[in-house]
Amino acid sequence: MRRISLALTTAAAVTAAAAALAAPAQAAAPAAPRAATAAKACHEDNAMIYTDGTRLRTKASTSGAVKGQLYFKDPIRILKKSGSWDYVQLKAKSRGGLTKGTRGWVAHKNIIPPFCG
């Protein structure tokens, strides 16, 4: 009986000592700063296409002739906006075969907007 009591007392002492050592370490550690970093838009040069088979058009509407198709992550530069359409220029040859520098209109919903964070 005495051995069990001694073992329990020792275990309790070890647990208390560990807790006492951990408490100052936690208190001494500075709290991580919670800097509120607001998302700011980057230069319009860093946009990409969001969906596969996005149509590049001659006009800012679905009635505009289709120049070709763009695919996910095709890099583009946004030159201007008109309603829900963006006039873009390809920064590299597209996966759809359009040459670098080709310009046309793309529905804004198909563009990953530029982001700096």
pLDDT of residue 12: 52
- What is the SS3 assignment for 110? helix
**44-85 confidence digits (pLDDT tens):** 678 999 999 999 999 999 999 999 999 999 999 999 999 999
**2-23 confidence digits (pLDDT tens):** 444 444 444 455 555 555 555 4
CA distances from 97 to 40, 41, 52, 55 (A): 32, 29, 13, 12
Which residues on neighbouring strands pair with residue 89, listed in sequence order? 77, 103
pTM above 0.75, yes or no: no
pLDDT of residue 44: 63
What is the rounded CA–CA span in Å between residue 16 and residue 60?
71
